[in-house]
Structure 1
Amino acid sequence: MKPLQDLKGITQPVLSGLRKLGIHSIEDLLLHLPLRYVDETRVTPIRDLRLGEQAQVEGEIIHAEVQYKPRKALIARLQDASGILTLRFLNFYPSQIAALKEGNRLRALGEVRNGFFGYEMVHPQCKPVREGAAVKQTLTPVYPTTAGLSQPSLRKWIGRALETASHDELLPAKVYQGKAWPDFQQSLLQLHYPPPDADQHALQEKTTPAWQRLAFDELLAQQISMRKHYARRRGLGAPAMPPSKKLVSALLKSLPFGLTAAQQRVFTDIQHDLGRSYPMQRLLQGDVGSGKTIVAAMAALQAIEHGWQAAIMAPTEILAEQHFNKLNTWLQNLAAGAAPVRVVWVAGSQGKKARAEALAAISSGEAQLVIGTHAVFQDQVQFARLGLVVVDEQHRFGVQQRLALRQKGAQPHQLMMSATPIPRTLSMSYFADLDVSVIDELPPGRTPVVTKLVSDARREEVFERVRAACSQGRQAYWVCPLIEESEALQLQTAVDTHIALQEAFPELQVGLVHGRMKPADKQAVMQAFAANQIHLLVATTVIEVGVDVPNASLMVIEHAERMGLSQLHQLRGRVGRGAASSACILLYQTPLSETARARLKIIYESSDGFEIAQADLHLRGPGEFMGIRQSGTPMLKIADLERDAGLLEEAQAMADWLLQKHPQAAEAHLQRWLHQAQELVKV
């Protein structure tokens, strides 16, 4: 890789700006591709301008003045042989006033709008020209940039990089056999300097042969990286844990329910992985309520039976506590050797004494199953023999957090669980180094949840629905809106809602739970709700995952338009856990944005987690969908997982072939595309 400093004359401010964009080498600069293009290859006569189109005109300034009514603006009149066009600037500098002096000749590029005096351009790009000056020969690229790094500067240095860097083909011809794609150099030239007759719509949509070629190359690099990590993991040593002969069967006999066929199938996968002498890295997907926890418990028992410790990490204290209570109930009567299985939990808000006891039990090995929040991976927590790590709702933890927990064991097996189903293309790309199992059926007895969209103007009707459900002995949730800007504001909203609902329902016991409560208070409220001592529970989104109260048959979600699809689906999954018919009311405020309208339509029409996840991926993109934008995993810059799904499948097959037959070429290709990225490893 050639450093940026090899570009003659490059300055420190330019280097600093490029690094902010993630550009660290000349090769990175080559692959910094345009967002869009503007057409400066032709000059349009003023009389031929069309409303709403972007165009370039050339003429002489015949009048310019600063007007102060109705608001301050610099107004200039540009004339060519066919007519006159108004140029309007609402923010301007003395240099612009000088450039627009009467008699000056210039070209203006902008969108044509209707103005008071006919057609006008607001804040067009202007540059002085001599009469008869040549127009540009290629479309003008507009690049992603940052403050202090102008478009002309970016174009200049990308042009220098194209003159300086190597554009050689790195891969065997077979890789591109049957493709009508340009080579690497031609692809770059066609994207940085498209000819005037290029299909601008196809360029914008990234469907030209040049875009397709580079999208394939990027996906191929990602797949090579993933397959290398997959192979490397198989070279590591991990404790082999043969199938459990006692504990798992004892647990299953003690439970009041049987496993579904899907649960049995995925546990067979996990059981097989744990018996190997290299680390398991398996992603367990299952929709809300599909029974992932019992599968995690069985995996933990397989480790415990062979003298190893297991850890289960959850994203919230409520969920960690629920796991602890449920697993402790299941496992407390099972014996590993002479003593019963000991389960402890660790959380940031734990009391000093309880925490010290838990830490001592973990470090001595007495605690065989450790359950907690991110506090589990803190330095004070030292495991005696950690053999299995289970990460629930894995996308909520950053890579560094998951790695910190994994490093507490020599090379523990790892099971990641997610109730946010992962669309196939995302699984094939960002999770290609993992083995994936899916629980694709719900346990018997789950009732379908009816979803209703209700405007906030009909709030009184919703109150009546809540009153009716609770008077029949059922319970309800009232979820407060997500307020990302301020946790304190969200908390206040929950407190205010609690007071308002207590006044609205004097005959009901109305509880309140939120993330800032002390664990003991939170636990007391949740236990009271589970025991039907609280009829209506006001909650923030802390109840999104893990809460299991079969008698709760109604959920009201305020400001549902503010929430993401996966979050709405998770919340809705808190009801419908018993035999009673259940409903989820999505209260929304108008006017709705197009995105909010699309989200609510999807959640109203579908209860299929995978279908909702695919729609969520479409609306948000992969980074936001799986929390990988901040996780250290490099995002795809060119390829799009929906548009390029076919290319992804080809890249996956080609990556395996290259690594087997042409490993050096595969490595060179990886270096070209991902040399500066953090390792694409799911830990």
Structure 2
Amino acid sequence: MGKLPAVSPKSAKPNQSPAQRALARLGLVRDIDLALHLPLRYEDETRITPIRNAREGEVAQIEGTVLDCSVQLRPRRQLVVVLDDGTGRCELRFFSFYPSQQKTMAVGERLRARGEVRGGFWGRQMLHPAFRKAEGPLPAALTPVYPSTAQLPQAYLRRAVAMALTRVRLDETLAPEWPVPPLAVHGQNGHLHIWSLREALLFLHHPAPDVALATLEDHSHPAWQRLKAEELLAQQLSQCRSRAERARLRAPVLAPGDGAGSLHAGLMAALPFALTGAQQRVGREIAHDLARPQPMHRLLQGDVGAGKTVVAALAAARAMDAGWQCALMAPTEILASQHFAKLVQWLQPLLQARGQCVAWLVGGQKKKERATALEAIAQGAAALVVGTHAVIQQQVRFARLGLAVIDEQHRFGVAQRLALRQKTAGGEMEPHLLMMTATPIPRTLAMSYYADLDVSTLDELPPGRTPVVTRLIADSRRDEVIARLAQQVARGRQAYWVCPLIEESEALDLTNATATHAELAEALPGASVGLLHSRMPAGEKQAVMEGFKAGRTAVLVSTTVIEVGVDVPNASLMVIDHAERFGLSQLHQLRGRVGRGAAASACVLLYARGESGHLAQAARERLKAMLQTHDGFEIARRDLDIRGPGEFLGARQSGDAMLRFADLAQDGALLDWARAVAPQMLARYPALAQAHIERWLGGRAEFLKA
């Protein structure tokens, strides 16, 4: 095959073979990428099973002489080959075949065939087995089956991996004083043996036939443990280095301004409620960070309704008291407008006395309004800027940006978060960064993916939140749910009805928002039913939301654009259509839109079974969790168990550095080891640490900093 050219998805050229382009699309560019492309499963081609000993239902490899090779036309066209090994006979049946295959399986040829043995009226059979001429010795190791695509045959991929393993440098990067934890130590001939990376990789690509397959499949084998330890160490090294690099950066010192004339004191006095103990504690943590000359890099997490916006507003007041600007970026215009309305209410009167304002910046603004906002931001008259991703566009110039707040940070791509941080606060300085999320991060995930962040947790809800009753109802009882909705509307209450799709889809036979809006408008004569979805113009969305908040609209039919940020105390019923299609955290966020007033509130999870008449296992687990708990942290833990960290973290996009091998639920001991070793390794062996990061993360390490 020759040496495989190193190609990237962007540099793939038309003259490359489809297999080479497929390698690039899979990210298999460097030799180390191929070496770390591990098998999904293995086939045992190391032994021959006599036909008479082959058991029905088991996969076996047989070898024998072809007695007959003929095409049968009934009951359907098929190639039937009869193989005899002296102990018995087995029919090989192929419903699709080529003349070249018939030639290989001609009468008299000696074949090896591997497949599932079936019993039949005429004896043992195999349907579409793998086969080849019985030439050469049997393999000494199990045959790997790799993750692949249609354009990348297993034989080509196996050769590519084998060649990469002969070329790749696998020098040890772990110093001997930090052996991998006992999980990775394996007894051999009565002696302890610590697997090297080279040994582990060679073994996992070609394991010995006597290995217990279960230990390979559940990744508990010592060779797997070594790889998982290395991967976790690379991640922790990258995070530690990011933290160390951040400590060398400079940020404006935003010293507390709690005096009588300060914005912070004015805001505290203007708030119509008392802060919870958790809000006060987190406020002190943030104030301590802002007063340091290093940039804050803090994640503020709290359940739905825990009061994160107030904490962010108080942090912004501290920045403005110190003479610096603050920017708050939200993922949707609806959420951004909610923040804007609250912050204008709280801060605009205080800022006006200083000749400053709160600016609004989104993509769909009128040209004149946008130009006015940009000028105010550039001159420093806009002390606080609230908006969507428009805040990070190139033409936005801040006079003195000292604090950047990102709400629902997991909804932004890494490159977007980096762009906001690079709106420098003047000179070589970087703004302080406060990220907020209403999707609590389980501890193991925070230790792994957010090791370079300081995490503050609002673990206390403000008093007065009404408990929300959750009900699971089959779609066949949809009429009953609509009748319940009509009762709520008749009592003067408001309700949400959330749909998963905007338009009909042939792939997913789900009721769309437009059809549901028409259905409810007909079922509720005299009631105002609004429609909200992401494709509506910004002005129209705003008008619909204002109508609902003002109480003019009784029922709001919506897609998930109302998932976060919408606060309508009079809304007491949330109906989630096709709830089985939603993620667990998303369901929890939607439920949090009700129970914000004094009225008893309910959340109805309307579900539809699949064609089989059953819900998928993951959907059942999600809906069950919603019935069992309202605790956002418990919801997050279960969501992590169901979806895994990659999907849970969602939009750590662009340079996605999710773990491929380690499992945070099972590998806590390895994670603890990696967290302990990483800072020591960076301090004592920086060259080894760099080599280790480069091997495992390549260019993706930069994105772990965002």
TM-score w.r.t. length of structure 1: 0.93
Query: What's the secondary structure of 2:700's corresponding residue?
Result: coil
Give the AA of the match of 2:225: Q
In the alignment, which residue of structure 1 is the partner of 2:126? 121
1:268 aligns with 2:291: no
Map 1:16-95 to 2 at 5 A. 16-95=21-100
Distance 1:273 1:436 in 2: 12
1:516 aligns with 2:535: yes
Map 1:531-570 to 2 at 5 A. 531-570=550-589
Displacement of 1:203: 0.5
Displacement of 1:648: 0.8
Moved more, 326-335 or 475-484: 475-484
Displacement of 1:539: 0.9
Displacement of 1:679: 1.5
Query: What's the secondary structure of 1:335's corresponding residue?
Result: helix
- Judged with a 3 Å threshold, the aligned counterparts in structure 2 of structure 1 residues 251 and 114 are, in CA distance, closer, same or farther, namely farther
- Judged with a 3 Å threshold, the aligned counterparts in structure 2 of structure 1 residues 486 and 367 are, in CA distance, closer, same or farther, namely farther
Give the AA of the match of 2:97: F
Aligned to 2:590, which of 559, 571, 578? 571
Moved more, 497-506 or 604-613: 604-613
1:622 aligns with 2:637: no
Structure 1 stretches of 4+ moved >6 Å: 483-492
Distance 1:395 1:487 in 2: 30
Asked whether the 8 Å contact 2:503–2:512 carries over to 1, the reply is no
Map 1:253-292 to 2 at 5 A. 253-292=269-308
Gaps of 5+ in 2: 8-14, 186-193
Distance 1:609 1:297 in 2: 23
1:662 aligns with 2:685: yes
Map 1:598-609 to 2 at 5 A. 598-609=621-632
Distance 1:345 1:114 in 2: 73
- Judged with a 3 Å threshold, the aligned counterparts in structure 2 of structure 1 residues 540 and 71 are, in CA distance, closer, same or farther, namely farther
1:641 aligns with 2:664: yes
1:354 aligns with 2:369: yes
Asked whether the 8 Å contact 1:389–1:414 carries over to 2, the reply is yes
- Judged with a 3 Å threshold, the aligned counterparts in structure 2 of structure 1 residues 97 and 437 are, in CA distance, closer, same or farther, namely same
Give the AA of the match of 1:24: V
Displacement of 1:630: 3.0
Give the AA of the match of 2:326: A
CA RMSD of aligned residues (A): 2.5
Aligned to 1:233, which of 232, 235, 246? 246
Aligned to 1:345, which of 351, 360, 377? 360
Displacement of 1:317: 0.9
Distance 1:590 1:492 in 2: 14
Asked whether the 8 Å contact 1:633–1:678 carries over to 2, the reply is no
Asked whether the 8 Å contact 1:4–1:25 carries over to 2, the reply is no
Query: What's the secondary structure of 2:590's corresponding residue?
Result: helix
Moved more, 566-575 or 636-645: 636-645
Distance 1:488 1:30 in 2: 38
Aligned to 1:468, which of 465, 481, 487? 487
In the alignment, which residue of structure 1 is the partner of 2:147? 144
- Judged with a 3 Å threshold, the aligned counterparts in structure 2 of structure 1 residues 118 and 624 are, in CA distance, closer, same or farther, namely farther
In the alignment, which residue of structure 1 is the partner of 2:405? 390
Asked whether the 8 Å contact 1:483–1:489 carries over to 2, the reply is no
Displacement of 1:380: 2.2
Distance 1:388 1:279 in 2: 9
Map 1:306-385 to 2 at 5 A. 306-335=322-351, 338-339=354-355, 341-385=356-400
Aligned to 2:599, which of 566, 576, 580? 580
Asked whether the 8 Å contact 1:20–1:146 carries over to 2, the reply is no
Distance 2:544 2:502 in 1: 23
- Judged with a 3 Å threshold, the aligned counterparts in structure 2 of structure 1 residues 478 and 90 are, in CA distance, closer, same or farther, namely same
Q: Deviations over 1:498-539 (max 9, x none)?
A: 111011011322121222223232222222222222211111
**Number of residues paired by the alignment?**
675
Asked whether the 8 Å contact 2:239–2:705 carries over to 1, the reply is no
- Judged with a 3 Å threshold, the aligned counterparts in structure 2 of structure 1 residues 487 and 284 are, in CA distance, closer, same or farther, namely farther
Asked whether the 8 Å contact 2:333–2:388 carries over to 1, the reply is yes
Displacement of 1:54: 2.2
Asked whether the 8 Å contact 1:4–1:24 carries over to 2, the reply is no
Distance 1:58 1:678 in 2: 50
Moved more, 428-437 or 167-176: 167-176
Distance 1:392 1:488 in 2: 33
- Judged with a 3 Å threshold, the aligned counterparts in structure 2 of structure 1 residues 74 and 422 are, in CA distance, closer, same or farther, namely farther
1:222 aligns with 2:238: no
1:104 aligns with 2:109: yes
Query: What's the secondary structure of 1:368's corresponding residue?
Result: strand
Aligned to 1:440, which of 459, 480, 490? 459
- Judged with a 3 Å threshold, the aligned counterparts in structure 2 of structure 1 residues 46 and 457 are, in CA distance, closer, same or farther, namely same
In the alignment, which residue of structure 1 is the partner of 2:255? 242
Distance 1:601 1:521 in 2: 37
Query: What's the secondary structure of 1:679's corresponding residue?
Result: helix
In the alignment, which residue of structure 2 is the partner of 1:163? 166
Identical columns (%): 57
Asked whether the 8 Å contact 2:502–2:513 carries over to 1, the reply is no
Moved more, 527-536 or 412-421: 527-536
- Judged with a 3 Å threshold, the aligned counterparts in structure 2 of structure 1 residues 274 and 91 are, in CA distance, closer, same or farther, namely farther
Distance 2:419 2:511 in 1: 35
Displacement of 1:491: 12
Asked whether the 8 Å contact 2:6–2:30 carries over to 1, the reply is no
Distance 1:255 1:391 in 2: 22
Give the AA of the match of 1:92: F
TM-score w.r.t. length of structure 2: 0.90
Gaps of 5+ in 1: none
Give the AA of the match of 1:500: E
- Judged with a 3 Å threshold, the aligned counterparts in structure 2 of structure 1 residues 539 and 490 are, in CA distance, closer, same or farther, namely farther
- Judged with a 3 Å threshold, the aligned counterparts in structure 2 of structure 1 residues 291 and 70 are, in CA distance, closer, same or farther, namely farther
Displacement of 1:100: 2.6
Asked whether the 8 Å contact 1:512–1:539 carries over to 2, the reply is yes
Query: What's the secondary structure of 1:333's corresponding residue?
Result: helix
Asked whether the 8 Å contact 2:358–2:386 carries over to 1, the reply is yes
- Judged with a 3 Å threshold, the aligned counterparts in structure 2 of structure 1 residues 148 and 480 are, in CA distance, closer, same or farther, namely closer
Give the AA of the match of 1:447: T
- Judged with a 3 Å threshold, the aligned counterparts in structure 2 of structure 1 residues 64 and 156 are, in CA distance, closer, same or farther, namely same
- Judged with a 3 Å threshold, the aligned counterparts in structure 2 of structure 1 residues 412 and 83 are, in CA distance, closer, same or farther, namely same
Asked whether the 8 Å contact 1:305–1:336 carries over to 2, the reply is no
Query: What's the secondary structure of 2:410's corresponding residue?
Result: helix
Q: Deviations over 1:159-209 (max 9, x none)?
A: 333333333323221211663131222212221221110010111111100
